[in-house]
Amino acid sequence: MAIYKLHINGRSYQADVEPDTPLLWVLRDNFGLVGTKYSCGIGACGACTVHVNGQAMRSCTLPVAAVGTQKVITIEGLSANGDHPVQKAWDEVDVAQCGYCQSGQIMTAAAFLKSNPKPTADQIDNAMHGNICRCGAYHRIKEAVKLASTKA
Amino acid sequence: MANSTSRRDFLKIAATAGGGLMLGFDWFSAKAEITSVISNAALAAGKTEFNSFLSISTDNIITIFSPNPELGQNIKTSFPMVVAEELEADWSKVNVVQAALDTKKFQRQTTGGSGAVPHSWMILRKAGATAKAMLVEAGAKRFNVPLDECMASNGFVVHSKSGNKLSFGDLAEDASRLTVPKEVKLKDRKDFKLIGTSVKNVENKNIVTGKPLFGLDFYREGMLLAMIQRPEAFGLKLKSVDAAAAKTMPGIVDVVSFKNNVAIVGKSTWQINKARKALKIEYEREGNLESSADHDKIFSELLNGNNTQVRRKEGDVEAAFKNAAKVITSEYQCPFLPHNAMEPMNFFAHVRADGVELVGPTQTPASARSAVSKLLNIPEGKITVEITRLGGGFGRRLMTDYALEAAELSNIIKAPVKVIWTREDDMAGGLYRPAVRYRFEAALDTDGNMVGYKLRGVGMNERNPTRENNFPSGAVDNLLIESAEHRTPITTAPWRAPITNFLGYAEQAFLDEVATAAKKDPVQFRLDLLNRAKTSPAGAVRYDVDRMIGVIKLAAEKSGWGTKKDVSQGFSVYFSHASYVAQVAEVVMKAGKPVVKKIYAAVDCGEVINLSGAKQQVMGGIVDGMGHAMYGNLTFKNGSPEQNNYNKYRLIRMKEIPEVEVFFVNNGISPTGLGEPALPPTGGAIANAIFKATGKRVKAQPFVLEEPFKIKAV
Ligand code: FES
Ligand code: FES
């Protein structure tokens, strides 16, 4: 066990955990930030996606010891009032079915659009291909990413 | 039950409900007398028979308790829309609350079988219309004008002559003192303002901001977490556990075993996960350790044996096949499939001396409660069940195993505990859609008419893997449908569109084979059969021939059936859960392999309530159907599943989805199910398009292992 100081959503947090604990479980179990979801734990689905220094990362395979002073943003901190262009597009297109995968989808899309604000349809497909939606809401996810790219 | 209520009585409710009109109505019964102002006395005595509440507070908020579990079928949005439509409410003032399990109030608090909307359509409408009638009456009294000069509109009662208006909130208390009308007039569907439009999911904001909605997100002060190690193979049972090492690991509170389970209880998910690996467990054999190769053999034996049960028989099948000009025989098989809801199974339980608290994602809260009641010998009245949002269900959450485990564990450790499954636990933990094989046979006469039809379905833990009364039953004079079953220790459960999720594909692919052999256009072939079912039915016809013809024609028209040169089209149509769906898949060849480019769907589910949600269900059903047809494959070796996470088990992803276009038949018939019916036809449409493109039939799932996908690029 060791003490880790983390910068999350513009605040500092502290946890006494083992170094190999994935960031995902520190967020969920220690800090109650449960918007970041668990589904596979092996980096294969994207449900646990957060931003680390602006990059989309899978928190389920990122040990807390590797986070250091990097700035972490979770779905709870993506915007103050749920009004990030990607969140707004998700509402407008009415994307969610069960909704479980959606915070990971949104975090993936938000980081992607930051690096590529005006993507082509193929680029959207490529960027979102790693995120599974078991409900099959892919058409609307695509549409919402496209819509968000016109808003930002 | 309370048909009227005294003023004093009402005011007490008003106090508890924040003031206003509170109506009780039964979401689920078809009784005519369904609505009443709820009396406080009746409520307090638990005597109210009414099954849900619609309340209008004096500050003009309309609250509707939604009893059914929400798993993405969008019921939490579509049910209240129906009430609001008849009420003439302002949708932005409607607030939906998930109700906890209450069998006194709700009769069918279940999500499954695409059954909720059909059950509740008229009830919801009447509840809204009743409240509206009372508000309008209260308004007319307040304005002191004749009743027929007043109407309800967008949350107000308006006096048309003067233009004066009062909000529902202003009138709610007055309305609550009126007698509940026996008969109310429902709106004409041409006046619908909400129904049939696209209304956004009421939970969107919470979902996109990551609010704790799901079972896995549930937290209770002092709660422990636990994982359970279950036998790694079906057919094994627990022999001994050495938990000495695990118990000393950081964060571990206890390790206990019950039944075949070894539960590691602790404070954090990661610590539990690590300690779990330090367990030393021995198992012993209890049943057969089956492999997929064994299943193939078992299926062949069952198909060729005599141990079948007749499900439906018409005419003289033997003679029809003996005298046939041509006989077509074909077999179709699918593997086991896990449900793979994105949110793995989990449940919270707190067994105390005075009762049990259960919280979690379940499609059937009532079954969870009765199972826990039996297990712990605690009366149901002492058990509460709170329903969280479900991160997918697909039938898996109709089962109560994971709630029972939590309750049993909490009872042993005497503490509140949430049992969480890892993905590996979830995928390898059983209760799968069982593998099945079908043998179809068709007899054609010299004109290419199907005069005989045989289907033998052999399944696992499924007494009847056929749907003996579905099309083409009723359309073929000589018909025999039989089934046989193998009991496997591998546990099985319903999976979205049970049975028809594969039967739909197999049957529609086989009918395509028959049409080809008869040298008939696949669409015309089906229409001819349906016309037979209509003009000279062979036995009972348990589907609506005209509605089926309707979707077939609509899909053919919208897809430009038979007119396209650059794509290969495949057709299918299926009736399930009281809805009709026809699909046309379009396939092109890319690098020598078939690629699905587009799927058209024509859907008759009666009245569409929420267009956005309905489209979403159809598109999701098609993606689900395609994904599992193409890739889904859970195989077994010595009783153990060989795939246990997404890296080994392929789910469809963004780049693999075709374009999908959805068309609804606009016939105004009472709505029928939509959570499942779009799935069964998809595999068939794709398989038939693949045949058009490659000349090869895919007869087993997953398609990617079949021949058309092995063709080398030329
Ligand atoms: S939970 Fe992290 S990628 Fe699936
Ligand atoms: S919305 Fe259910 S998994 Fe994506």
Domains and CATH numbers, chain B: 40-208 (3.30.365.10), 215-286+345-420 (3.30.365.10), 308-336+432-705 (3.30.365.10)
pLDDT tens figures, B489-515: 999 999 999 999 999 999 999 999 999
Q: Of A46, A77, A108, which one is at a domain's C-terminal end? A: A77
Say which residue the tokens 């919208």 belong to. Answer: B558
Instruction: Clarify whether residues A145 and A127 are in a common domain.
Output: yes
In this complex, do B657 and A139 lie within 8 Å of one another by their Cβ atoms?
yes
| pLDDT number for residue B659 | 98
Q: Which of A135, A145, A146, A147 best probes binding to B when mutated, by most B CB atoms within 10 angstroms?
A: A135
Where does ligand 1 bind, in terms of residues with CB under 6 Å? Answer: A 38-41, 43-48, 58, 60
Q: Domain of A110?
A: 85-151
| pLDDT number for residue B711 | 59
Task: Mention every residue, 6+ apart, whose C-beta is less than 8 A from residue B180.
Answer: B3, B4, B23, B35, B36, B37, B130, B134
In this complex, do A139 and B214 lie within 8 Å of one another by their Cβ atoms?
no
Residues 51-70 of A with CB under 8 A from B: none
The whole-angstrom separation of Cα B394 and Cα B679 is 12
Chains A & B: contacts with CB separation below 8 Å? 181
| pLDDT number for residue B652 | 98
| pLDDT number for residue B65 | 75
pLDDT tens figures, B620-641: 999 999 999 999 999 999 999 9
Instruction: Clarify whether residues A18 and A56 are in a common domain.
Output: yes
Give the pLDDT band (50/70/90) at residue B15: very low
Q: How many domains does chain A contain in total?
A: 2
Is the pLDDT at B411 greater than 50? The verdict is yes
Instruction: Clarify whether residues A71 and A89 are in a common domain.
Output: no
Beta strands (DSSP E) in B494-635 are 568-576, 579-590, 593-604
On chain B, the residues whose CB falls within 8 A of the CB of A82 are 205, 208-209
Instruction: Clarify whether residues A68 and A102 are in a common domain.
Output: no
Instruction: Clarify whether residues A60 and A13 are in a common domain.
Output: yes
More reliable by pLDDT, B10 or B637 = B637
Is the pLDDT at A14 greater than 70? The verdict is yes
pLDDT tens figures, B533-553: 999 999 999 999 999 999 999
CATH number at residue A105: 1.10.150.120
DSSP code per residue over B377-440: T--GGGEEEEEPBPS--TTGGG--HHHHHHHHHHHHHTS-EEEE--HHHHHHS--BBPPEEEEE
Instruction: Clarify whether residues A89 and A72 are in a common domain.
Output: no
Which helix (H) or strand (E) segment holds residue B58: the answer is: none
CATH number at residue A71: 3.10.20.30
In this complex, do B422 and A41 lie within 8 Å of one another by their Cβ atoms?
yes
Give the pLDDT band (50/70/90) at residue B182: confident
Instruction: Clarify whether residues A69 and A10 are in a common domain.
Output: yes
The whole-angstrom separation of Cα B412 and Cα B534 is 61
Q: Of A77, A95, A123, which one is at a domain's C-terminal end? A: A77
| pLDDT number for residue B36 | 58
Q: Nearest C-alpha of chain A: how many angstroms from B647?
A: 6
With the most atoms of ligand 2 within 8 angstroms of its CB, the residue from A75, A93, A97 to mutate is A97
With the most atoms of ligand 1 within 8 angstroms of its CB, the residue from A25, A34, A39 to mutate is A39
pLDDT tens figures, B137-150: 999 999 999 999 99
The whole-angstrom separation of Cα A105 and Cα B711 is 35
Is the pLDDT at B99 greater than 80? The verdict is no
Please, what is the average pLDDT of chain B? 91
Which percentage of chain B shows pLDDT scores above 70?
90
| pLDDT number for residue B550 | 98
Is the pLDDT at B105 greater than 70? The verdict is no
Give the pLDDT band (50/70/90) at residue B52: low
Give the pLDDT band (50/70/90) at residue B13: very low
Q: Of A23, A53, A77, which one is at a domain's C-terminal end? A: A77
Cα distances from B42 to residues B46, B182, B446, in angstroms, run 6, 20, 72
Instruction: Clarify whether residues A71 and A7 are in a common domain.
Output: yes
- Average pLDDT of A11-28? 97
Nearest ligand 2 atom, CA A96: 1
Instruction: Clarify whether residues A20 and A57 are in a common domain.
Output: yes
Is the pLDDT at B577 greater than 90? The verdict is no
pTM reported for the whole predicted model: 0.93
Instruction: Clarify whether residues A145 and A91 are in a common domain.
Output: yes
